[in-house]
Amino acid sequence: MRIVLDASGGDHAPQATVAGAIAAARTWGDQIILVGDEASIRAELAKHDTSNLDLPVVNAPEMIEMTEHPAQAIRRKRNSSVAIGLRLVRDGEADAFVSAGHSGATMAGALFILGRIRGIERPCLVTHFPTVHGHALLLDSGATTDCKPEYLVQFAQMGNVYAQKIVNIAMPRIGLLANGEEANKGDKLVQDTHVLLQQRSDLTFIGNVEPKDMLINGSADVVVADGFVGNLVLKFGEGVFKMITTAASNNIKAEWRKNLVLGLLPALVALTLPGKGRWRALIAGLTGLTLPASMAVAPLLALRKRMDYRSHGGAPLLGVNGIAIVAHGKSDALAIQNAIGQARNAVEQRVVATISHALETVELVPSA
């Protein structure tokens, strides 16, 4: 398998991208094509043992800055890492593209260079959003911010197919993200979309879903929103999860220190006891005081791992004629490796062909 990685993209490139590519190549034995500034990439590769790894480097002399307009940058900078990488996929020289760089440029480039699946008006990003009961698919999480109701219905259709074929949910429950469960809640976009979704016999539409229900009740497998709202929910969720785990970690550390200090006095008393009894009393006292806080560490670590965006790698861009994975801008080596793993899984599961074929049998909603 051949995966193209934007080695110059991301806050921690090229260190994190090169390290992640090396880890992925060692794990799966795939060819990881590193596209970006050749000199810096090769300098980083020289710091690692890359023997027997297939890591070709393709020079990209231009870089798209985060301040640039995505569509204009893609058209103007044809020799950027994003443009070159996506052309490799389009021309059949690679199977998928991964980038932690300018997400807007990646999405615009995928739209212009790879093109859309027939009948699809706009692409959408699908994100595995952690919930109490597992995960919900949130789409769109940032690709298309200015939406029509017909776009959201197509997002629901693509999410429905993705959930069925990729996540193995036989009858995905589709929810529309809104500020209330009632059909009349939300702005005009949400209300009009609600009417259209109710008319779809090919979807199991359960109605409006509030963000709290999405997190706690697990009432929907697929949650649909426009890219602006979806991205806000995603980023707010990241902040909430970070706050919870950080606060819990700080409380556990404080409790552990307090109990340890409180345990010093009985420990000193224990040392005055005769024979082996002093050591038994000392161990029992300290264990009893520190064990409660210590027992909370494992669940906290499990929660943090479950909520960690790095474990999911990135978000697939659905609706385009090729595999494009948008990774988090702060991705470290582990996140890059997992984004590559997500790309190869999408290739193995034939995501594009599966969605395209499945939608051929479904009446797509044309844009008004």
Please state the pTM of the whole predicted model. 0.83
Q: Please determine, for residue 55, whether its predicted confidence score (pLDDT) is greater than 90.
A: yes
| Whether 325 and 296 share a structural domain | no
Instruction: Report DSSP letters for 280-341, one per residue.
Output: HHHHHHHHHHHHHHHHTHHHHHHHHHHH-GGGT-EEEEETBSSEEEEE-TT--HHHHHHHHH
Residue 366 covered by a domain: no
Mean pLDDT score of the chain: 86
Choice among 60-69, 98-107, 215-224, 250-259 with the minimum mean pLDDT: 250-259
| Whether 134 and 210 share a structural domain | yes
| Band of pLDDT at residue 204, cut at 50, 70 and 90 | very high
| Whether 140 and 185 share a structural domain | yes
| Whether 34 and 52 share a structural domain | yes
Q: What is the mean pLDDT of residues 329-358?
A: 91
Cα angle: 251, vertex 253, 258; to 5 degrees = 95
pLDDT tens per residue across span 88-105: 999 999 999 999 999 999
pLDDT tens per residue across span 134-155: 788 999 999 988 999 999 999 9
Q: What is the pLDDT of residue 150?
A: 94
Q: Where is the domain boundary, 189, 205, 233?
A: 233
Q: What is the pLDDT of residue 220?
A: 92
Looking up residue 49, the CATH number of its domain turns out to be 3.40.718.10
| Whether 248 and 205 share a structural domain | no
Q: Where is the domain boundary, 186, 202, 233?
A: 233
Number of domains in the chain: 3
Q: What is the pLDDT of residue 130?
A: 78
Range of the domain at 133: 126-233
| Whether 213 and 284 share a structural domain | no
